[in-house]
Amino acid sequence: MSIDINNLGTNTPPRAGDSNRVGSNEANAADTRQSTGKSSVGDTVSLSDTAIRLGQLGVAVENQPVVDTKRVEQVKQAIMDGSYTVDPTRIAEKMMELDMALKPKA
């Protein structure tokens, strides 16, 4: 199925006995588009407040560093001085949470 995005195929055929109905507005608009390459009707786009806010949040996230270098340095230092501890129970819990989050909902 094709879609005519230039509105060229929207002319309705004249009804029987209506020989004067040619659709001059559509014909003039088509002539304008062909001669200038521009539509005679202005298109507008509006964004919702949510879309605007999402765009702002996207920019804010892009401006954040990928890695928290301060935290990395703290962990490095803790490993170097031997004060870094691993809690296997917490790691297992987090792995289970991740597994549950990744399972498809039935």
Which range of residues forms the domain containing residue 86? 68-106
Residue predicted with more confidence, 97 or 14 = 97
Examine the pLDDT at 27 and tell me if it is beyond 60: no
Determine the Cα–Cα distance for residues 6 and 1; give it in Å rounded to an integer. Answer: 15
31 three-state secondary structure? helix
On whether residue 21 sits in a domain, the answer given is no
On whether residue 16 sits in a domain, the answer given is no
Taking only the tens place, the pLDDT of each residue in 29-44 is 555 555 666 666 778 8
Model confidence pTM above 0.85 = no
Q: What angle do CA 80, 84, 85 make, to 5 degrees?
A: 150
Taking only the tens place, the pLDDT of each residue in 56-83 is 999 999 988 889 999 999 999 999 999 9
On whether residue 19 sits in a domain, the answer given is no
Please state whether 82 falls in left (phi above 0), alpha (psi between -120 and 50) or beta. Answer: left
CA 98 to chain centre: 26
On whether residue 49 sits in a domain, the answer given is no
Residue 97, pLDDT score: 96
Number of domains in the chain: 1
On whether residue 5 sits in a domain, the answer given is no
